[in-house]
Amino acid sequence: MKKFIFIVASLVISFFAWDIASAHPGGTDSSGGHHCWTNCAKWGLSYGQYHYHNGGSGYTYKYNTYTPPPAPSCPIFSSYDSLSGNCKCNSGYRVDKGIFGDDQCVSELTYCTNHFGYGATSNYLTGDCECKSGYSFNGSRCELDLSGYTYTPPSIDWSKYNSPTYNDTAPSDTNITCKKKHGNGSRYNSTSDSCECKKGYVQNDNDQCEEGQLWCQREYGGGKKERVLYSKDDETCYSCGEGMRITKDKKCESVNYKAPVNTNYKVVKDTSIYEKMSSKSKVLGSVKKGDSIEVTKVISGWAKIKLENGKYGYVFRNKINSK
């Protein structure tokens, strides 16, 4: 009997030993699973993989995975600090109240100007606010420091302006006084201590300084501009009679006189003759350097010429010269 019991016990122990060996080495925990540390690849496992045993008939695997919580969304100019679990302003920025009363990250310069005025700046070495050069702290804000600036008005001897004419008028006002009295063409002469007309102006019968050309036109030209010429050089009016006009060289000529037009030109460079004032128009012919041509009109860089057949064409003005 004892021998029978011993044989049965041996068989049971052998069965469990085979089952454990067939699974793979290692005991299980209270949950019925364990980590694989030996011959893991043989059993289709990864090294250190946690799994459950299923009574020897198979395996049920459980993976321990860790998914970190998503980082919170931080305001602009700030980033998430995983150590403290809070948002922190980036370097060079600090927390301040926004226009809606919410906390925001603003630059250190903006922070300083918001709290201490536009005369404040940020010290990038210490990160502190301080007043700019030329500004001083009045206890709450940085204000422009005018303590070192004084203004002393120039000393003026008013005694020389005590004449009845100018009634103690300051020097800067003498020209204004003259213009009010004699018009914009007047100015103050400090040498003679009186008002006078500027160059190019004439004192008329109303004691006003009038532009010389207009004065001559009214007095000697019968209101016609072409009949008179006022010379600023000698301050003299030059005029011509009725039906005449005056030239720039102060000569009179008939208003019907027309100066002769030079129609004889010489070609200085070979060029084509065009039907119209365009190089894209039809080409009527050409002229060679040295040819003589008759020009009837010069218009906008073009010359209208008369051809031998009596018709007209156009050439570039810079290709011809008058004889």
Shared-domain flag, residues 239 and 286: no
Shared-domain flag, residues 250 and 287: no
SS3 292: strand
For the record, the structure tokens of 36 come out as 């694989």
CA–CA separation, 46 vs 35, rounded Å?
9
Note whether 67 and 74 are within 8 A (CB): no
Shared-domain flag, residues 167 and 246: yes
**Of 144, 177, 192, which residue is a domain's last?**
144
Note whether 288 and 297 are within 8 A (CB): no
Query: Would you say the C-alpha torsion 248, 254, 258, 260 has a positive or negative sign?
Result: negative
Q: Report yes or no on 157 lying in a domain.
A: no
Find the distance separating the first CA and the last CA of the chain, reported in whole Å. Answer: 156
pLDDT in tens, 29-78: 766 777 777 777 777 777 777 777 654 434 444 455 556 667 678 888 88
Q: Report yes or no on 298 lying in a domain.
A: yes
Q: Domains in the chain: how many in total?
A: 3
Contacts of 35 (CB under 8 A, 6+ apart): 26, 48, 49, 50
Q: Where are the alpha helices (DSSP H) in 82-202?
A: 108-116, 174-182
Shared-domain flag, residues 245 and 281: no
CA–CA separation, 227 vs 254, rounded Å?
10
Q: Report yes or no on 43 lying in a domain.
A: no
CA–CA separation, 85 vs 87, rounded Å?
7
CA–CA separation, 270 vs 55, rounded Å?
113
Note whether 107 and 85 are within 8 A (CB): no
Give the rounded distance of the alpha carbon of 320 from its chain centre: 47
Q: Report yes or no on 182 lying in a domain.
A: yes
Shared-domain flag, residues 137 and 181: no
Q: Report yes or no on 66 lying in a domain.
A: no
Q: Report yes or no on 56 lying in a domain.
A: no
Shared-domain flag, residues 180 and 225: yes
- Integer angstrom CA distances of residue 254 from 61, 218, 221: 123, 20, 15
CA–CA separation, 69 vs 76, rounded Å?
21
**Of 96, 116, 144, which residue is a domain's last?**
144
Shared-domain flag, residues 123 and 166: no
Q: Report yes or no on 3 lying in a domain.
A: no
- Integer angstrom CA distances of residue 299 from 76, 192, 293: 67, 55, 16
Give the position of tokens 């709290």.
Answer: 115
Note whether 103 and 113 are within 8 A (CB): no
Shared-domain flag, residues 205 and 248: yes
**Of 254, 277, 310, which residue is a domain's last?**
254
The structure's pTM equals: 0.30
Shared-domain flag, residues 246 and 169: yes
In terms of residue numbers, what domain contains 94?
78-144
Taking alpha carbons only, the member of 276, 263, 271 closest to residue 314 is 276
Q: Report yes or no on 19 lying in a domain.
A: no
Shared-domain flag, residues 236 and 274: no
Shared-domain flag, residues 247 and 278: no
C-beta neighbour count of 118 within 10 angstroms: 14
Contacts of 86 (CB under 8 A, 6+ apart): 80
**How would you write the pLDDT of the chain (323 residues) with one tens digit per residue?**
555 555 545 554 454 444 444 445 556 776 677 777 777 777 777 777 777 765 443 444 445 555 666 767 888 888 888 888 888 888 888 888 776 677 888 888 888 988 888 888 988 788 789 988 888 888 888 888 766 555 555 665 555 444 444 333 434 567 788 888 888 888 888 888 889 888 889 888 888 998 888 888 888 777 777 878 888 888 888 878 777 787 777 778 776 755 555 678 899 999 999 999 999 999 999 999 999 999 988 887 899 999 888 889 999 999 998 76
